[in-house]
Amino acid sequence: MATAPRPVSIIVVDRPARPRALARRSLAAALALLLACNGDDAATATLTDADTDTIATTSDATSTADATATTDLTETTDATDTASELDLLELLRAIDGMEAEELASPAPGIRLFALTFLQPSDHDDPRAPWFAQRLTLRHRDRAAPMVLSTSGYGLPDRKSYAEPTLLLETNQLAVEQRFFGPSRPEPADWTHLTIAQAAADHHRIIEALRPLYGAPWLSTGASKGGMTSIYHRRFYPGDVAATLAYVAPHSLAAQDPRYTPFIDAIPAPPGCAEALKALQIEALKRRDALTALLEDHAATERLTFDRIGLARALEFGVLELRFTFWQYGGPADCPSIPAPSDSDLDLFDYLDSVVPWAFFADDVIDYYEPYFYQAAHQLGAPAIDEAHLGDLRDFPGEDAPAAYLQPGLSVIYEPAAMQDISDWLSGGQGSGATRIILVYGAWDPWTAAPFPFPDATESYVYTVEGGNHGAQLRALPEAEQDAALAHLRAWLGLPERAQGAPLPRDHSPPERRPFLP
């Protein structure tokens, strides 16, 4: 829906120099062009939405990205009026510390941009090293709300999108978390990998882009992405209008004991829970045979297990079976559990299908190491039920986040971080802990540790009956879907959805991360 034009301020802020020279129009040149087009001699220029949705081709804008940007859908400019308006790509590049490249459109009416934004590794010390944080902008309409999305890990596929982006027809900004992928300072000081520093990353990103996207913002994420969204709200409650967090756990100990009783209480079909335990016992009894199969598997798949070793990889995979079975499976999967009398290969392949052996390989552990550090330092993690395995274990109690860290990277668990989040949530509207929607799966083990909410905070919790770690709004009963979407639309200033209007069904499926949030 179109709105009245908004003034947009472009402000030059002193920041460290960009890490490499840019072969495109500088910020100063972009501002000079902007001022010339508007006849404004002030340091801050004002643009309307109409002014900023198009760009002309000037003599120094000869790159393919620029040429492509000037021919996209309704944002195309008339060749005879090429010097009158700035395109979104130019406005993005004019933000200090931002680099932008336009990608191929993933769908009609959508523009896609690969961005990097300079961030300080320590927001309390601008002299510390800076790094380029990766982002993806999915642009629909500058008058539409913005969804700030994160997986809590690296950057998802550039063309992927979150559920509210689809259901509410919004723009989307996907953020890669600090220390994941190339979004890492060099040298890396791991003490700067905290929930407060990550929240400050989000805050600076919003500050940089809000002049271009002035409609309300919604933060969202699933699992660790949902956790990250709530942590951001704790430190900057006014940055977004609302938060939609999916299947987000709130562990309160280095090894939180609440998860095992939850798994034990899942109303599984008769014999299912017993079959999973029996499989774990049988697998450890056949440790030598399964280890030989894992060695062959590693050679075939070119996997290395130097970080934790083959013996621990095998045992940890067996230990995590029950949790991960319910994280991504359900009652329909119970008949597929092998019997203790099945072959070594049957047991090995089944374990691989639930808790892939590759997740214990060096390259995967390297990728997820920032999570393991965060879990060992502030986030906490589930305690694993091992009692029924007795003396079959060679590494009792070792399958914890700190076990996956590189040698020499020490960490001490700080319970105060999550207690602070609990305290903030208990403050309700007075603390800014309001307009939060949580979605959980009834049989997802991570639901054992939900975020707490007091009454009267204008926040809501929805549970998908029989749902697992892939629970979404569209899996709720229709009445609850309608209620949740009505809240989101009201908070974002969107009109009510027409009665009976079908919800879009297409979506980007959640990633599988066994025993990780």
Helices (H) and strands (E) in the chain — how many of each? 16, 11
Residue 411's contacts (CB-CB under 8 Å, 6 or more residues apart) are: 190, 373, 376, 377, 402, 405
pLDDT of residue 431: 84
Q: What is the pLDDT of residues 260-291, one digit of tens each?
A: 999 999 999 999 999 999 999 999 999 999 99
pLDDT of residue 497: 81
pLDDT of residue 313: 98
Q: In what order do the strands lie in the sheet with 171-175?
A: 98-103, 111-120, 130-139, 171-175, 146-149, 217-222, 242-246, 436-441, 460-464
- Give the side-chain half-sphere CA count within 13 A for 232: 35
Q: Is 413's pLDDT higher than 60? A: yes
Q: How confident is the model at residue 155 (pLDDT cuts 50, 70, 90)?
A: very high
- Tell me the mean pLDDT in the region 389-398: 97
| Distance, CA of 285 to CA of 354 (rounded, Å) | 19
Task: Return the structure tokens found at 456.
Answer: 């009267």
Q: Is 56's pLDDT higher than 90? A: no
The H-assigned helical ranges of 308-426 are 309-319, 321-328, 344-354, 362-374, 416-426
- Tell me the mean pLDDT in the region 352-374: 98
Q: Is 15's pLDDT higher than 50? A: no
- Tell me the mean pLDDT in the region 484-495: 97
pTM of the entire predicted model = 0.83
Q: What is the pLDDT of residues 91-122, one digit of tens each?
A: 999 999 999 999 999 999 999 999 999 999 99
